[in-house]
């Protein structure tokens, strides 16, 4: 992610540098310094910025040329993850195995302590969808989950 992409993604989301910093768990000076190319940014900070923006639906062009917002129905929230697991009767370890992630990754994500990179969020979403969960996008009434009707009986 380039500084330009960071700024563009933040603006597409309607976020200030301060809000992005709060969501990423860092000081707003770090965000501003990165976007303005004032000083080198630590890899850990860049990872946190990117993960936070991707969790909100930003998709970055690999060549550094731009950014766009993903379809919001494809983004899974920590609340949806917990609710989907509950519908399926799965514990965190079972979801982690199905998504090929560590159990600690699932725990931290569901607690809302750290956003996940797109690949990890996609793995969670695909594991839950393969088990029959449908993610319901925010539509004014809140995001949610449900089980597909066409599921065979257990």
Lowest-confidence pick of 40-49, 58-67, 123-132, 137-146: 137-146
pLDDT at 89: 95
State how far the Cα of 56 lies from the Cα of 48, in Å rounded to an integer.
12
Do the domains at 3-70 and 73-147 have one common CATH topology? yes
What are the extents of the domains in the chain? 3-70, 73-147
Residue-wise pLDDT for 62-87, tens only, equals 777 788 877 544 678 889 999 999 99
- Cα distances from 6 to residues 10, 36, 42, 87, 129, in angstroms, run 6, 10, 15, 36, 30
141-152 pLDDT, tens digit each: 677 899 988 765
What is the torsional sign of CA 26, 47, 70, 11? Answer: positive
- Residue 153 Cα to chain centre, angstroms: 32
Per CATH, the number for 3-70 is 1.10.260.40
CA 122, distance to chain mean position in Å, is 9
Q: Which fold has domain 73-147?
A: 434 Repressor (Amino-terminal Domain) (1.10.260)
């Amino acid at each position: 992610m380039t500084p330009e992409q960071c700024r563009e993604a933040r603006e597409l989301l309607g976020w200030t540098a301060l809000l992005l910093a709060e969501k990423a768990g860092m000081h707003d000076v770090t965000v501003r310094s990165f976007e303005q190319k004032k000083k080198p940014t630590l890899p850990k900070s860049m990872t946190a910025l990117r993960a936070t923006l991707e969790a909100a639906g930003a998709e970055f062009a690999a060549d550094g040329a731009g950014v766009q917002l993903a379809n919001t129905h494809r983004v899974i929230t920590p609340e949806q993850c917990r609710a989907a697991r509950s519908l399926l009767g799965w514990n965190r370890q079972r979801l982690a195995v199905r998504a090929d992630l560590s159990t600690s990754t699932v725990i931290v994500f569901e607690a809302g302590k750290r956003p996940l990179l797109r690949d990890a969020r996609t793995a969670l979403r695909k594991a839950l969808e393969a088990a029959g969960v449908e993610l319901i996008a925010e539509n004014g009434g809140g995001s949610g989950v449900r089980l597909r009707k066409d599921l065979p009986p257990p």
